[in-house]
Amino acid sequence: MSSSLVETLRRQLREKFPQAHGFRPESGPSVLAGQPLTLAGLPAGAISEVVADGAGSGLLLVLAGLLGESAEVSQHPQLVLVDGADGFDPGSFSGSACSRLLWVRCHSATDMLKAADWLLRDGNVPLVLMDATGLARRDLMALPAAGWWRLKQAAESHGCRLVVLAPFALVAAASVRLLVSAGLGLGDFDVSRGELLQRLRSLPQRLRQAT
């Protein structure tokens, strides 16, 4: 195959699958121009929804950022992960980081919603992170809207911070919705988690006030 034909094929692949080649087209908005994602932007007593901005978003880096890599083991968990599809890999984190986490393993969207409801109504959990990214879209869309409003009321009543990681805009009851991306590509497999976290950016979406 001639070198000119190879270059043509590479160019066509880059244009058709930009995320896979580690860059975004210059046209159109980019979340990478947004702000670093911090807990301060996710209010207590409310639901915050963090949504992936397309392929290569690095959405699950949010959990890594919250856990950190503390050198000291925590006596009490500082956040609860409601893992909708049981996809969390504790082996990719240190023991000290995992000591800050209470991991609630679920196997369906319905179980995920019920677990979050129990935790919020307990009133003793300041931060609940709900990971809905591994669940089928049809199952997430089938969740009753009343269930999300129930979670909103529980979060408000107990001052809990509920953060939902979602593959698409899902929670009508959210007070804050952020689009996030780290612009990941195939060339980032060997990049350290710390470096990737530095690239994670968020862009707020304007929402109608949830009542």
Q: Give the mean model confidence (pLDDT) for residues 71-99.
A: 83
- Is residue 120, in this structure, part of any structural domain at all? yes
pLDDT of 172 reads 92
- Is residue 177, in this structure, part of any structural domain at all? yes
Query: Model's pTM, two decimal places?
Result: 0.74
Determine which of 33-37, 173-177, 192-196 has the lowest per-residue pLDDT on average: 33-37
pLDDT of 138 reads 97
Hey, is 72 helix, strand or coil? Answer: coil
- In tens, the pLDDT along 141-173 reads 999 999 999 999 999 999 999 999 999 999 999
Residue 89 predicted with pLDDT over 50: yes
- In tens, the pLDDT along 187-199 reads 666 766 667 666 6
Q: Which two tokens stand for residue 9?
A: 């094929």
186 lies in which domain range? 30-205
pLDDT of 64 reads 80
Round to whole Å and give the CA distance between 138 and 72: 41
- Is residue 7, in this structure, part of any structural domain at all? no
pLDDT of 59 reads 73
What distance, in Å, lies between the first and last C-alpha atoms of the chain?
62
109: number of Cβ within 10 Å: 21
In contact, 182 and 200? CB cutoff 8 Å: yes
Q: Which two tokens stand for residue 15?
A: 């244009």
pLDDT of 203 reads 76
- Is residue 9, in this structure, part of any structural domain at all? no
Question: Which carries the bigger pLDDT value, residue 109 or residue 59?
Answer: 109
- Is residue 2, in this structure, part of any structural domain at all? no
- Is residue 13, in this structure, part of any structural domain at all? no
In contact, 141 and 12? CB cutoff 8 Å: no
Interacting residues of 49 by C-beta distance below 8 A, sequence separation 6+: 163, 164, 166, 169, 170, 171, 174, 176, 177, 178
- Is residue 17, in this structure, part of any structural domain at all? no
Q: Give the mean model confidence (pLDDT) for residues 12-29.
A: 43
Round to whole Å and give the CA distance between 36 and 203: 9
Report the number of distinct structural domains present in the chain: 1
pLDDT of 109 reads 97
Task: Find the CATH number of the domain harbouring 112.
Answer: 3.40.50.300
pLDDT of 208 reads 59
Interhelix angle 109-122/145-158, rounded to 10 degrees, is: 20
- Is residue 16, in this structure, part of any structural domain at all? no
Q: Give the mean model confidence (pLDDT) for residues 71-96.
A: 83
pLDDT of 92 reads 84
Percentage with pLDDT > 90 across the chain = 42
pLDDT of 25 reads 33
